[in-house]
Every structure is written in structure tokens, then in C-alpha cells.
Structure 1
Amino acid sequence: MRAVTELREGSAVLIDGGRGVCNTTYVDNLVDAIFLTLENDAANGEAFFITDGDHVTWGDFIQAHARMMGIDTPLPDVSSSELRALYGKAPSLISSSVRGAAKALRSREFRTVLLQIPAFERALKSTWEWLESLPESRRQDIRSRFGVPRRKFVPPFAVPLPDEVTFQTQSGTVFFSIQKARDILGYSPRINFQEGMLRVEQWLRFANAL
């Protein structure tokens, strides 16, 4: 749904021409793998990569959504080097997620809902008292970690700016091998990427999302 939303809003962007690796997993394939692990004692204590088994790029993934939406204009492109200049370094998915969570926690609406939970209200009060007990320099350091926006960066040709999580995700270069799952579980994807996208389109149209 995120790809559809971004394409509809005009904020979808390809990084490095969409060459990053996209390890897709259709839900039916995932369910098959779960049942195989439950039925196979050799799976105990093991970890497996479960994907559709196809070499798919983010360009393939996003363009497939664009086609089902009838979008045939070229998507804007930005290079990873430009984004690294913006972010200072390749961002950590964990740190990006922490900043996103902090942003949500700072929102008035979110706090209003959470304050209705007594345990959270007590935790928030304790946290506030702890922050107030810190030296001002330390409080400023904490604020800078979670509250100060990064400098604005405008890519050439007014390309929409992807967030750090999108940058991290679309810049991936590792194809997850399912060979271990094949060998131990007998896993074989029933739904390939093309078939999966056809089913996704059918579902989106059924849900009036296209």
C-alpha cells in the first residue's frame, strides 16, 4: 500500500535507478514456509530466509505498482551519493526507526491517548522528573538527538526526497538466498513475483484501493 500511496501522491522516487535489491515475499509463500517448519524437526533452532526466490529490484517493484495504476511517466531518480551527502552517512534502520518513534511520541494526539493508560502516565511522569534532574547541557544533547531536524536538502530537478528508512531499504544490495530453506524444509515458492503482483492488483481493485 505504501508504494500505491506514494505513487498517487507523486512522492515515489527511485534511488540509483531502482537498482537496489528488493527481497519480496508473497504471503502464501510465507505461510507455506511456516507450515514446513512446523512439520519438520530439522527446523528446530534454525533460521531461514523466506522470499519468492526471484531476483527483483526496487525499480521492478515500484514500476509494477505504477503499471497497475496506469502511470507510464518516468519516475524521478536520485543517487545514493546525494542522499549520503544529505544524511552524512548511510543511515541505520534502527536509528531511523527510533527517530520516527520519538516523533510520534512528541505528537499531542498520541500523548493524549497514551495518558489515558495509568501505567504510561506514571512512566511519563518519572521520565519527565528524570529529565528535569539532568544538567541543562545534557538535556540539550537529548533534545538534539530526537528533536532537531536535519538540514534541508533539495536534490537536482526538484526530485522528491525519500526519508532515511526508504534510503536504507532501497539501497540494499544483498539477495537473500532461500537455498537453506530448500535443502532443509523442501521449500519451493509457489507464487513468483509476477504472479504475486497480479494477485496484489486483484486485491487492491477489490478493496477499491486503485
Structure 2
Amino acid sequence: MNLENKTLLITGIGGFIGLRAAEIALSRGMKVRGLQRSQEKAKAAQKLGAEVIVGSITDPVAAAKACQGVDIVLHAAAIVKEGGSPKDFYEVNVGGTLNMAKAAKNAGANTFVYLSSVMVYGFNFPNGVAEEGPLCGENNPYCQTKIESEKELLKLNAPPDFGIIIIRPGDVYGPGSTSWVVRPLQLMRERVFALANGGRGVMNHVYVDNLIEGIFLAIEKEAYGEVFNLTDGQETSWKEYFTRLAKIGDVPAPIISLPAGVLKFIAWLRCCGQSVVGQNPDTLPQSVNWVTRPYAYSIAKARSQLGYEPKIDLEEGMRRTREWLQKTDLLKAGSTAKTL
């Protein structure tokens, strides 16, 4: 499929991944529309030249309006956090996803790309785990709803009229990333950051531009009914990643390390304290599970079937992220990270 002049709808267009996907798509000659719940976030995409409809992915009327005249849907909107109400996760991550897919199909779109996550494999998976799994919900609402969404979406796959593509990104970082750039740097500045188990876990990072390149390759190849892991293909310890991050953020490198169990308890105490004073907890105890995953995911399938080859390595990705940090005020004392 030739992407030039195609109309792409991005849900969650004002978020970290959605905004960069819009920017790259526009640069490639695509027409871009967005569906975004927040009016404030919608403005950022509008400034790029995208048409944005303000509404929720769970609203059938908003979904139908957003999908009219669209060729491709990139569904990036979701609740993305370490824990919370299973009901809320299911309503948005499963219900909202199916609502968008059905609206896209009814409107005549022929491609629906679902941004899932490598977290469908859970926290304890085999080294080099491939798309076949095993999958594991870990009794975690984020992991569980990503698995459920994939399962239900694939039932709608009916090419050539309507094709489903599922992308499982690794740990997406880069300019605008809250989870892997802003939030850890803020904790480092507050002197409340510690490595879990010495930082020995493996970060399966993927620079945001590499991820979007992989997504567009899958669309161009019309890889309908397929699932792809996408990472940078590098095995980087969390200690190395956070040390590099501290350097570009001009904060002291993390040297304190605590056992994962102790770190979870401290995070729980911090959450309790923040809740008492009316603040939203910035780090949940479950967050520790994300940084103790021991192995790498395989991207062999994406390489062989899509010709995917990550062009931006960690060194270059950090350089670009540093340039962004120097232009933003997100790390000034007293600033508050927002979920993107």
C-alpha cells in the first residue's frame, strides 16, 4: 500500500506516540485526522496541521464521526499505567478499542492498526519470547486488557475489505515520554529514585521514531492478521538506561539500589502519603514489576516479514531526547508530569 495521500486517523493523537505519528505521517504526504478526549492535547496536533475531533473512543457517535472518509486507523488511545480500576481499564482498553474498530469497519476503512504492548507477555517470560507467546495477564488490568483487546480484534480481521494489524511495542522513549523520561528524571531530582535489584533487569527500549517506522512498514506490507513485537533490538540494563538518562537530564546518576520487595513497600508508603494530601500518586508499587523484567523480546518476525531495522540507536535517541529536554520546562522544580 502506498501511504501518500491516504487519510490516517490517530486516536489519542495528542499523546506522546500519537503526536509524533501525526508529525511523521504529515511529512510523508498523508492526511491526518485525530480523535482526542482532551481539548488541550488536541491543540498540539492541530498546530501540526491535523484535523482533530474532540471526543472519547468509548463514544459511538464520536467514533463514527472520526472514521468517516478514513483509509487507515492507528489506535493509540488507552489507559496506560501500572495499575488501577479493572472496570476502567476494560471500558477503555477493550470496549473503546472494539468501538473504534467497528466504527472504522462500518465507515469503509480498510486497515486498523492496534497499538498493544509487550506487556501481554507479563513480567516473567522466556528469553527471546516471540509473538506466539506465552501470554500472561499477571492479574494486572493493563496486561489483561491488552490481551483481551487483541483477541477480540482479530475476530474482526477480514481482508482485503478490513484488515487488523497488531503492534506490540517495547518500552517507548524519546521526546515527550512521561513513563521513561520525564517521570524518572523528576524522581531523580527529588532524590527519591532507586534502582530495583541493582538495575539488572532488561529494558527493551524502542525510540518513538523506530516504532512509527515499524508501524508504517506493517501498513505498507498490508500485514493483516499479523502481530509484531517492535523494539530497538538492543538488550540494555535498566541501570545503563537510567544512568544515561540522568546524564542527559543533568542530574546525579542513580547509585542507590534496593531489593524489589523493599522498593515496592517504599512506593506504597509514598502513594499513601500523596493520597492523604490530595495528590495523585506518581509511582505505584506495581511500577517495580516493569523494571525487573529479566529478558529481551524477539523482533525477528518484524525483521524478516517487514524489513524492519531500527535506525536510531540508544546513543542517538538519547541525544535527541536531550535536545528536547533543553527546550522544555517539564523538569523545572515544582513541575508535575502528566500522562500522555
**Which bin holds the TM-score, normalised by the shorter protein?**
0.5 to 0.7
Could you tell me how far apart the structure 2 residues matched to 1:66 and 1:108 are?
Answer: 29
CA RMSD of aligned residues (A): 3.0
Identify which of 197, 200, 203 aligns with 2:318. 197
Name the SS for the 1:49 alignment partner: strand
For residue 76 of structure 1, the aligned residue among 242, 256, 279 is 256
* Contact preservation (8 Å) 2:248, 2:322: yes
Displacement of 1:181: 0.3
Are 2:247 and 1:67 aligned? yes
> 2: CA distance between counterparts of 1:208 and 1:81?
34
Identical-residue share of aligned pairs (%): 33
Give 1:193 shift. Answer: 1.1
Which whole-Å deviations, capped at 9, do the CAs of 1:138-194 have from their partners, x for residues lacking one? Answer: xxxxxxxxxxxxxxxxxxxxxxxx742221011101211111100110000010111
Equivalent residues, number: 143
**Alpha carbons of structure 1 residues 109 and 61: separation in structure 2 relative to 1, 3 Å:** closer
CA contact (8 A) 1:53 1:192 kept: no
TM alignment of 1:29-178, pairs within 5 A: 29-41=210-222, 43-72=223-252, 74-80=254-260, 82=262, 86=265, 163-178=284-299
The structural deviation recorded for 1:70 is 3.1
2:200 corresponds to:
19
Counterpart code for 1:197: M
Higher strand share: 2
Structure 1 residues 14 and 196, CA gap change in structure 2 (3 angstroms): same
CA spacing shift, 1:66–1:186, aligned 2, 3 Å:
same
Distance 1:21 1:190 in 2: 20
Q: Which residues of structure 2 form unaligned runs of 5+?
A: 1-181, 332-340
**Counterpart contact for 2:201–2:237, Cα < 8 Å:** yes
| Distance verdict in 2 for CA 1:7–1:48, change over 3 Å | same
1: CA distance, partners of 2:327 / 2:252: 22
Q: Which of these two proteins has the greater Rg computed from alpha carbons?
A: 1
Secondary structure, aligned partner of 2:213: helix
3-state secondary structure, aligned to 1:164: coil
TM-score by length of 2: 0.38
CA deviation string 1:1-23 (max 9, x = no partner) = 11111111111110111111111
